[in-house]
């Protein structure tokens, strides 16, 4: 389904879920960016589970994360916050929280969640007062290579496990002719993600921590950083001109349909493959290149409630999100991993199992930059990466200089 047909499907779906009746007369507005066709089955899991708790989901979907976040901030700042907001990190809304424009939730049994999630997840869930302000439904790995298995076979290549092996595979796929080796989009957010994927996979955990956690400008003087910058430059010749106007869903479909050989993105990029009927482990292979997993939870924050009814709806929503059965169903449709450790993981497909092999080892995991860097720093680093990608004459030394200034910038509080 493409073009107008896809848009019609999405519009009809969103209209239908906004009309689901609620037995208790409660309703709750949800701002999110899960508007792609491939994401609808996962959204429906939440809609149905919420309906069972007597709450009607009122949909307010945006096409992109930045558009959704802008709407969330505007609504909160003007005194009309949405009841629920789908976010990647509470850090993005720190200023709103400090101004009292977000709310905590406390359904019955909420304190028990602490023992059901990893300590670092609980840290992300709670505010300064120890109450829950963020309920994550899914844990994603943000540096996964997706490869078309049939194309791999034609190229005589095995699934790569490192970036060096990945470049060899891309070269072999290019030799086939008629296939784009690397499906890509020039969107700033993917360029930024590609950069920190390379830092983790080539520079390892020490370089990653120095840049994205410690914000140490000296990290860009290391030889490991030069290797990262060189690898970023090496990627472009394996892409195609369509990258300048392509969204990530279309890039994933290129691999699913056999028009491209590989894609490097987060675990959520598995959705289009599933929608296209491609079986993970049979039609598509996955690998966490370099073995260091970049982790990021996605979930919901809550606007200041305007009534006791809305507060009750928020609490029921939070309980739904943190239900282990709901999480298991959601990740089965969405890709990724449940945040609750007691959720059933038997439904995880082979692709997710391969990508998540290092999850149990803290030495092989790092946090996504949105959990460790304020938006201003992220924006400055992203701008530097976009300029380096676009300007092939820019030296690595000049790139390093821009990045030093970016990570050293004050957070703008």
- Residue 57 pLDDT greater than 80, yes or no: yes
pLDDT of residue 327: 96
Please give the average per-residue pLDDT across 307-313, as a whole number: 95
- Residue 413 pLDDT greater than 80, yes or no: no
pLDDT of residue 300: 95
**pLDDT band per the 50, 70, 90 thresholds, residue 2:** very low
pLDDT in tens, 315-359: 999 999 999 999 999 988 887 889 998 999 887 777 777 767 767
pLDDT of residue 3: 36
What would the two tokens of residue 316 be?
Answer: 């029921």
Please give the average per-residue pLDDT across 181-198, as a whole number: 95
Please give the average per-residue pLDDT across 229-254, as a whole number: 95
Identify the H or E element spanning 298: strand 293-303
Residue matched to tokens 């959704």: 68
pLDDT in tens, 295-307: 888 999 999 898 9
How long, in residues, is the chain?
413
Strands 365-367 and 55-61: unpaired
Q: Which 3 state secondary structure label does DSSP give 265?
A: strand
- Residue 6 pLDDT greater than 60, yes or no: no
Q: Give residues with Cβ within 8 angstroms of 16, minimum separation 6.
A: none
pLDDT of residue 24: 65
pLDDT of residue 410: 60
- Phi and psi at 326, nearest 5°, equal -65, -45
Please give the average per-residue pLDDT across 227-244, as a whole number: 97
- Give the whole-angstrom CA distance, residue 132 versus residue 140: 20
> Kindly report the CA angle at 374 between 84 and 217, in degrees rounded to 5?
160
Which of 16-30, 147-161, 302-316 is least confident? 16-30
pLDDT of residue 394: 98
pLDDT of residue 363: 84
Residue matched to tokens 């690397």: 182
**pLDDT band per the 50, 70, 90 thresholds, residue 81:** confident
Using a cut of 0.85, tell me whether the model's pTM lies above it. no
How does the average pLDDT of the chain come out, rounded? 88
pLDDT of residue 37: 80
């Amino acid at each position: 389904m493409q073009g107008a047909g896809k848009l019609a499907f999405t519009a009809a779906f969103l209209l239908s879920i906004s009309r689901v009746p609620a037995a208790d007369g409660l309703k709750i507005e949800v701002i999110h960016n899960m508007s792609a066709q491939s994401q609808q089955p996962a959204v429906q899991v939440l809609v149905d589970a919420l309906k069972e708790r007597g709450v009607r989901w009122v949909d307010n979907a945006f096409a992109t994360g930045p558009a959704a976040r802008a709407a969330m901030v505007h609504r909160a700042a003007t005194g009309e916050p949405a009841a629920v907001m789908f976010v990647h990190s509470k850090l993005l809304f720190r200023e709103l929280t400090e101004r009292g424009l977000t709310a905590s939730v406390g359904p019955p049994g909420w304190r028990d969640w602490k023992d059901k999630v990893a300590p670092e997840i609980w840290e992300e869930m709670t505010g300064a007062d120890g109450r829950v302000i963020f309920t994550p439904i899914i844990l994603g790995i943000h540096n996964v290579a997706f490869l078309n298995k049939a194309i791999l076979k034609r190229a005589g290549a095995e699934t790569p496990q490192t970036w060096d092996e990945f470049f060899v595979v891309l070269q072999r796929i290019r030799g086939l002719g008629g296939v784009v080796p690397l499906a890509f989009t020039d969107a700033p957010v993917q360029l930024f993600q590609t950069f920190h994927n390379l830092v983790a996979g080539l520079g390892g955990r020490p370089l990653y921590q120095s840049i994205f956690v410690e914000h140490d400008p000296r990290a860009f003087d290391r030889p490991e950083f030069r290797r990262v910058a060189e690898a970023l430059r090496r990627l472009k010749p394996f892409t195609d001109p369509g990258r300048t106007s392509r969204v990530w869903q279309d890039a994933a479909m290129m691999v699913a349909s056999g028009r491209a050989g590989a894609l490097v993105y987060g675990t959520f990029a598995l959705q289009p493959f599933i929608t296209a009927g491609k079986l993970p482990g049979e039609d598509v292979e996955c690998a966490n290149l370099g073995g260091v997993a970049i982790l990021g939870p996605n979930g919901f924050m809550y606007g200041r409630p305007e009534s006791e009814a809305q507060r009750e709806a928020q609490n029921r929503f939070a309980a739904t999100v943190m239900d282990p059965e709901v999480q298991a169903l959601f990740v089965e449709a969405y890709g990724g991993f449940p945040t609750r450790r007691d959720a059933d993981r038997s439904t995880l497909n082979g692709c997710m199992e391969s990508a998540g092999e290092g999850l149990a080892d803290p030495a092989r995991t790092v946090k996504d930059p949105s959990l460790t860097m304020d938006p201003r720093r992220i924006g400055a680093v992203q701008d530097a990466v976009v300029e380096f990608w676009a300007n092939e004459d820019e030296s690595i030394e000049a790139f390093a200089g821009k990045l030093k200034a970016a990570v050293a910038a004050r957070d703008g509080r």
